[in-house]
Amino acid sequence: MSQPTPDANPSFLQRIPIAFGAFFSSLSNPLYAGRVQGLREDAEPAPAAPAPVVAPAPLRIATPDAALQLLALLQREARLIDFTQESLAGYSDADIGGAARLVHEGCAKVLREHFTLSPIRPEAEGSRITLNAGFDAHAIRLTGNVVGQPPFDGALSHRGWRATEIRLPKLAPAHDATVLAQAEVEL
22 found inside a domain:
yes
Q: Mean pLDDT over residues 16-36, rounded?
A: 67
Q: What is the mean pLDDT of the chain?
A: 84
Going by C-alpha positions, the residue among 60, 12, 11, 19 that lies closest to residue 39 is 60
Q: Where are the beta strands (DSSP E) in the chain?
A: 115-119, 128-131, 152-155, 161-166
Q: What is the DSSP string of 69-83?
A: HHHHHHHHHH-HHHH
Angle (CA) 98 166 48, round 5°:
140
Residue 83 lies in a domain: no
Over range 110-115, report the average pLDDT: 96
Rounded CA-CA distance 109/53 in Å is 41
Reported as a single tens digit per residue, the pLDDT across 40-60 is 666 555 555 565 656 777 877
Domain ranges, residue 36: 10-62
Q: What is the pTM of this model?
A: 0.61
Question: What per-residue confidence (pLDDT) applies to 1?
Answer: 44
Is position 137 within any domain?
no
* 45 falls within a domain: yes
Asked if the structure places residue 46 within a domain, the reply is: yes
In a domain, 88, yes or no: no
Question: In total, how many domains does the chain have?
Answer: 1
Residue 89 resides in a domain: no
- Asked if the structure places residue 94 within a domain, the reply is no
